[in-house]
Structure 1
Amino acid sequence: MAEQLEPVLVVIPTYNERDNIERIVSRLRAALPKAHALIVDDGSPDGTGEIADRLASADELIHVMHRTEKNGLGAAYVAGFAWGMERDYAVLVEMDADGSHAPEDLPRMLDALDDADLAIGSRYVPGGRVVNWPKHRYLFSWGANTYTRLALGARVKDMTAGFRAYRREALQKLRLDNVASRGYCFQIDLGWRTIEAGFTVVEVPITFTEREFGVSKMGVDVIREALIRVTKWGLRRRRDQVKAVFKR
């Protein structure tokens, strides 16, 4: 990765990830020794925040943001991005705490930013794969991405991916202050904003591994939010296309 794309901040949202956070931070520090990590903890009752504080006290490249309530993945990332942009990080990365995203894939994603504004760690491009997912989970994810591509006309194959690296300049122009998506729909929301703004998006193949410890935060409310919002954005896109035709 070019030197002008340093320093790097990896934003890691957490809620009840005490069994995972130390492992993932250790792997990140080994994979990218110069990168900074910001752990955004939403008041985890299991003590994740206290473990994060201990890690930060022992390593000046690890930082912690404590939020008082569980307010959704999207809000955690927006808060983390704002913190990072205030401190002039050149690249801001999204990464889960549960081990499903391999920090060892990050160097390739950062290299891809030499020619792009957003690099997505993708499960669904050649070379990408999913490990230890039950078949119904894989089919749901594949179906969600297919529906998103059809609704929005996007060429990105893994719009729901949560492993991403953004150039600072792209995030600055995406108006993060009005992002309302709370759950995993946030990934589609921000990806679609990036595409609509004319930025270059690339997909980098990764291996996604199902978590070994803890409980997935995916629930019915998260799925419902994504379906409603993507449908709304798709209908708006079709409406704008029709308007453009009649204006000719």
Structure 2
Amino acid sequence: MWKMSAVAVVAFALLHGAALASGGSPMPVPRSPGMAPSAPRLTPEQEAAQRYNDGLKHKEKADALASEAEAETSNAKKRAKLEASARKEYEKAMKEFLAATDRNPAMFQAHGGLGYVYRKTGDFAAALKAYDRALELEPRYTPAIEYRAEAYLGVNRVDEAKTAYMALFNADRARADELATAMKSWLQRRRQDAAGLAPETIEDFAKWLSQREEIAGQTSALIQPQDSRW
């Protein structure tokens, strides 16, 4: 098993806090002691950082295409083309994130990225596995908590999604609000297509979400801005 150089360890530690807050920021490539800027050979940590950053670029492009496709309501052919292009970019991101986790299995951000693109391409089982791994490595990684909850909703595991919301409400309010928005969208879809859920389960969830939004509105003024470094 490879070992991180001392400089790489320090660089990774400095990145750790920022990654917790951002959930998807590019990371600098760690430098090896005495390594010239143009040296062709990279350490596994450096390769992992590069592949992760490349994956983020494809993910961001895919997200933009997916948003454009969702907004396209008048031209079905154009919408389908945009969706296909988005999927290709998600698959490219998947390849890069997989390479990053292969070179640095401890990079929780890359596991979280994998979960994201698996979820976006409809593979909820793989997404949950990737998010679980990210959170095994870094339990405070709130982007993975939030996105794993969205994956739970994708397979109708509403109780686990609720638990995730409560954890985020106390730890990362912005992520909790993001999850609440995703929950409202999920609720609208399930009211149109229950996907096997009992009607009472859907309406119970709607009542719970309404109560949580009311509480969130009452407490929002009391929330202090978080230190972005945590």
Q: When the two structures are superposed, what TM-score results if normalisation uses the length of structure 1?
A: 0.27
Greater relative contact order (Cα < 8 A, sep 6+): 1
Q: What's the TM-score once normalised by structure 2's chain length? A: 0.28
Q: Which has the larger share of strand?
A: 1
Structure with the larger helix share? 2
